[in-house]
Amino acid sequence: MNNISLTSISLRLILLVVFGDWFDHTLGWWKYVKGINGLFLKYEDMKKNPRDATVKIAEYLTCDLSDDVIDKITERCSFAKMKASKVMDLEEVKGRPFLRKGATGDWKNYFTVAENEAFDEVYNERMKDSGLSFDWE
């Protein structure tokens, strides 16, 4: 089998085929949330500081919660708790596990340097002027 280098065109096709266009989905929600004064949380930010994310959600919903309640919500909404829950017992979506690893930065295990550079090119093109940025680590 020949090794085919990944170009930005083939990367675009991959992004479209697997689950639909990530950029259209993300930017569509970003625009919608900004228009209604909504709350937009990024998974990477929630992973970095889950308690801060819980506080942001509570503030957005105008819920005045004690530190103890914030801590309990944060713990019960952790990836490990959700993955262990029978409520989230969805075996597969489109042939893949519904809940995978719950980690950020896993792309490094799948993208080569060239693929990452191609993604960065598409990302920079599609996200420019959006005011939205992601920290993939």
Distance of CA 18 to the CA centre of its chain: 15
Give the mean model confidence (pLDDT) for residues 48-73. 96
Confidence check: pLDDT of 117 > 90:
no
User: Element (H or E) spanning 93, and its range?
Assistant: strand 92-93
Q: What is the pLDDT of residues 9-56, one digit of tens each?
A: 555 555 555 567 888 888 988 988 888 888 989 888 888 999 999 999
**Other residues' Cβ atoms within 10 Å of the Cβ of residue 11:** 20
Quote the pLDDT of residue 63: 95
Confidence check: pLDDT of 133 > 80:
yes
Query: Of 79 and 102, which is predicted with more confidence?
Result: 79
User: Element (H or E) spanning 74, and its range?
Assistant: helix 67-76
When pLDDT is cut at 50, 70 and 90, the band that residue 70 belongs to is very high
Average pLDDT, the chain: 79
Q: Which residues contact 16 (CB under 8 A, 6 or more apart)?
A: none
Cβ distance 77 to 50 under 8 Å? yes
**22-35 vs 8-19: helix crossing angle, rounded to 10:** 70
**Which residue type occupies 108?**
K
Confidence check: pLDDT of 2 > 50:
no
pTM attached to this predicted model = 0.68
